[in-house]
């Protein structure tokens, strides 16, 4: 069998050898349709969470707060310490695998619907459309002279952009500094210099990226855009122009019969190019600039509808399907190749890791203990010749209630703890306590002996730890 290879061609022959060209501003036309509604749904969903989450309260504190100064991350009922960093690693692995999984199934879903760059560009373009008008009006406005109207429209646009950017920066900082206090500080102009800096920094980044950089971020800056190609295969659903059906393209009367004119379904109206947020022509085939937003699908379906043709000249399809023979078998091939090994392996890994993470967090022990032997004195002889070692126990209580901790030792016959063996550790805090351990001198060899500390929370039998330590008997 001859291996099928996806043909690649340099889209722009002038690309390599031209002098750097200045950025050409794009004026994407607004679009409505199934996928535009889906994207707006994603925008509302993600932004409800982003703007709303910091305002939720839990146990009298902010429900989600990443307190970098105190090195504690609050996630509803969960308080994460630096020792819990492994959860972040697991979360990142899961995020990466999700990316692999969704990209293998349906291409750049993340880019097209959920990426902040897309979401904020969408919001900023919405403001732009309501102040400056749609594509043609914006082009005319930019080309025309500075008039009072132009000034008013541009001014309104920037005022709204900056307001939205500031709200975004403020919300972002609100995940790291308590947002209610932050709000009061902003209103009373008493915000700290670093908080102000980061607030303005993220506002500026939002304003610049969503207002001006837009598709250049995706085309030139985003590494993810570039390595996504490695996760595509012939069965990945991507936004595809059906060349066999569309070509040869050409304008025609709505009443004309394309077959009679020797034309395909594409009427060459160029709307798919005008709506494209990255300014490419989907009819040139798969291109790295395509963020999979499906705006061209929506607009082409509208045109096909007006012409009285079947929709789907541009549609989500796979490389294998659009090259399938016979054509009637195309859509069946998409489904039959959906559950392929790559997708199944990603799905299994995701399930295992996700299940593991949830189980691990659900059964997490809120008590952590570090045992540190005193190094200054190996051993001491106490009353009645008993041998004494000193330890320091660092008791960390990651729960949201104060714990009374009992400490006991075992491992050598007659082992006891002298002095206090019960300690109260306040909620979400740690405490280092000195502990003295004694053993009787009879019948024990010199050298190091393994012992264990049994640390239990009073009235909370589920919260317990056993920690190994060594006990030194002098010669």
Which of 233, 281, 388, 467 is in the footprint of other proteins by CB under 8 A?
388
Q: Which stretch binds other proteins (CB under 8 A): 88-96, 173-181, 347-355, 383-391?
A: 383-391
Question: Does residue number 202 form part of the binding site for other proteins (CB under 8 A)?
Answer: no
Which of 41, 414, 434, 447 is in the footprint of other proteins by CB under 8 A?
434
Task: Tell me, by CB under 8 A, how many residues bind other proteins.
Answer: 23
Question: Does residue number 467 form part of the binding site for other proteins (CB under 8 A)?
Answer: no
Residues in 53-112 that interact with other proteins by CB under 8 A: none
Q: Which stretch binds other proteins (CB under 8 A): 59-67, 108-116, 252-260, 385-393?
A: 385-393
What would the x/- binding string for other proteins be over residues 14 to 43, using CB under 8 A? --xxxxx-----------------------
Question: Does residue number 391 form part of the binding site for other proteins (CB under 8 A)?
Answer: yes
**Closer by beta carbon to other proteins, 417 or else 454:** 417
Question: Does residue number 146 form part of the binding site for other proteins (CB under 8 A)?
Answer: no
The pair phi, psi for residue 214, each rounded to 5°, is: 40, -115
Rg (CA), the chain: 32
Question: Does residue number 374 form part of the binding site for other proteins (CB under 8 A)?
Answer: yes
Question: Does residue number 384 form part of the binding site for other proteins (CB under 8 A)?
Answer: no
Question: Does residue number 419 form part of the binding site for other proteins (CB under 8 A)?
Answer: yes
Question: Does residue number 387 form part of the binding site for other proteins (CB under 8 A)?
Answer: no
**Closer by beta carbon to other proteins, 16 or else 230:** 16
Which of 432, 448, 450, 462 is in the footprint of other proteins by CB under 8 A?
432
Q: Which residues bind other proteins (CB under 8 A)?
A: 16-20, 372, 374, 376-377, 380, 388, 390-392, 419-420, 422, 431-436
């Amino acid at each position: 069998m001859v291996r099928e290879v996806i043909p690649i061609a340099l889209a722009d022959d002038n690309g390599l050898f031209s002098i750097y060209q200045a950025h050409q501003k794009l004026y994407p036309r607004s679009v409505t349709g199934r996928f535009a509604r889906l994207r707006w749904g994603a925008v509302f969903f993600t932004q409800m969470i982003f703007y709303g989450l910091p305002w939720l309260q839990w146990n009298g504190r902010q429900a989600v707060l990443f307190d970098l100064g105190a090195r504690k991350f609050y996630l509803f009922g969960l308080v994460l310490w630096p020792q819990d960093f492994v959860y972040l690693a697991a979360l990142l692995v899961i995020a990466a695998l999700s990316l692999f999984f969704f990209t293998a199934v349906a291409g750049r879903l993340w880019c097209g619907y959920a990426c902040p760059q897309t979401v904020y560009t969408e919001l900023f373009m919405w403001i732009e459309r309501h102040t400056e008008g749609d594509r043609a009006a914006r082009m005319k406005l930019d080309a025309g002279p500075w008039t009072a109207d132009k000034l008013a429209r541009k001014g309104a646009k920037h005022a709204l952009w900056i307001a939205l950017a500031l709200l975004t920066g403020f919300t972002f900082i609100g995940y790291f500094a308590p947002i209610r206090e932050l709000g009061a500080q902003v209103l009373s102009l008493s915000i700290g210099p670093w908080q102000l800096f980061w607030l303005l920094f993220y506002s500026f980044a939002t304003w610049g990226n969503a207002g001006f950089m837009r598709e250049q971020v995706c085309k030139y800056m985003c590494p993810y855009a570039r390595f996504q190609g490695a996760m595509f295969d012939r069965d990945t659903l991507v936004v595809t122009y059906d060349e066999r059906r569309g070509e040869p393209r050409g304008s025609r009367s709505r009443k004309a019969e394309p077959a009679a004119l020797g034309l395909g379904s594409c009427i060459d109206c160029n709307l798919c190019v005008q709506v494209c947020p990255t300014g490419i022509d989907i009819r040139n085939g798969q291109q790295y600039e395509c963020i999979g937003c499906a705006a061209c699908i929506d607009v082409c379906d509208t045109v096909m509808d007006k012409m009285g043709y079947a929709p789907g000249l541009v549609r989500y399809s796979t490389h294998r399907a659009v090259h399938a023979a016979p054509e009637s078998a195309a859509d069946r091939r998409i489904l039959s190749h959906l559950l392929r090994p790559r997708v199944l392996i990603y799905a299994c890994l995701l399930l295992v890791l996700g299940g593991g993470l949830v189980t691990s967090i659900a059964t997490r022990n809120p008590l952590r203990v570090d045992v540190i032997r005193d190094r200054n004195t190996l051993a001491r002889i106490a009353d009645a010749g008993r041998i004494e070692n000193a330890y320091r126990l660092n008791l960390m209580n990651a729960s949201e209630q104060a714990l009374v901790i009992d400490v006991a030792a075992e491992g050598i016959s007659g082992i006891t703890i002298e002095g206090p063996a019960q300690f109260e550790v306040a909620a979400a805090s740690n405490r280092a306590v000195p502990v003295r351990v004694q053993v009787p001198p009879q019948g024990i060899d010199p050298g190091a002996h393994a012992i264990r500390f049994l640390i239990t929370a009073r009235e909370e039998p589920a919260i317990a730890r056993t920690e190994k330590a060594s006990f030194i008997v002098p010669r």
